[in-house]
Amino acid sequence: MTFHDIFKSSFLENMTSISILDMVVALLLAFGIGLFIFMVYKKTYQGVMYSSSFGTTLIALTMITTVVILAVTSNVVLSLGMVGALSIVRFRTAIKEPLEIAFLFWSIAAGIVLAAGLIPLAVIGSVVIGVILIIFVNKKSYYNPYIVVLSCANSEAEKKAKEFLVQHVQKCVVKSKTATKGLIELNLEIRMKDDNTDFINELSDMNGINSAVLVSYNGEYMG
């Protein structure tokens, strides 16, 4: 069959009708799965500033993808036009967390699978993905890391401060050191034995210690 024969046979004009019931069921399921994705995103969010609009976008994206795929599967001409239309779409919003990319693809994939009629795969797959994300994203180390910033007057004070920290914390590792005339600044990663932070007060009162700062470290780290 040549390209001329395709036009002659009106192949591009063929349309598959979609019943109202199928559309309603697909959109309701898309809304339900999108809402589930939103709840998982809210449960696993670990960023600094939570954006409720992104969560709403996940619901809308699941439903929009379902509508688009339903339209594409109903008509060949529409599918070709949709490819051209979507090729010019550009997303300008910056993704703040790498995990947000997974949620965006999850929403799009759920919408595609639902519109394709694979409802069990969409529902069961979304549940499995959500459980895995909740388990692994919320898994935290028992001993949370902290950063101690020390300002020492001399090397002797630096040595005493290190010995003091080794005795009062579970783990102490020097991350960086800056030395100038009359001043030594240390950044140390520590793992505390408990939630008691009184050792910082004792450390700041030591001779030769100008200041001692304890900061919670929220970055990626090896356990």
Average pLDDT, the chain: 79
Confidence of residue 11 (pLDDT cuts 50, 70, 90): very low
Residue 64: exposed, middle, or buried by beta-carbon count in 10 A (0-12, 13-18, 19+)? middle
The model's pLDDT over 118-175, given as tens digits with 9 standing for 90+, comes to 889 999 999 999 999 888 887 655 566 888 888 888 888 888 888 888 888 888 888 8
| pTM of the predicted model as reported, rounded to 2 decimal places | 0.60
Range in 34-38, 74-78, 197-201, 219-223 with the lowest mean pLDDT? 219-223
Is a pLDDT exceeding 70 seen at residue 106?
yes
Range in 40-44, 110-114, 116-120, 217-221 with the lowest mean pLDDT? 217-221
How is 80-137 classified by DSSP, letter by letter?
HHHHHHHTT----PPPSSHHHHHHHHHHHHHHHHHHTT-HHHHHHHHHHHHHHHHHHH
Is a pLDDT exceeding 50 seen at residue 221?
no
Q: Which one is predicted more confidently, 218 or 150?
A: 150
Q: What type of residue sits at position 175?
A: K
Every domain of the chain with CATH number 3.30.70.260 lies at 145-216
How many angstroms separate the CA atoms of 41 and 138, rounded?
A: 11
Q: In what order do the strands lie in the sheet with 169-180?
A: 169-180, 183-192, 145-152, 209-216
Sign of CA dihedral 121, 37, 129, 108: positive
Yes or no: say if 104 and 58 are a contact pair by the CB < 8 Å rule: yes
Give mean pLDDT, residues 50-63.
85
Residues 145-216, CATH architecture: 2-Layer Sandwich (3.30)
Q: What is the pLDDT of residue 211?
A: 87
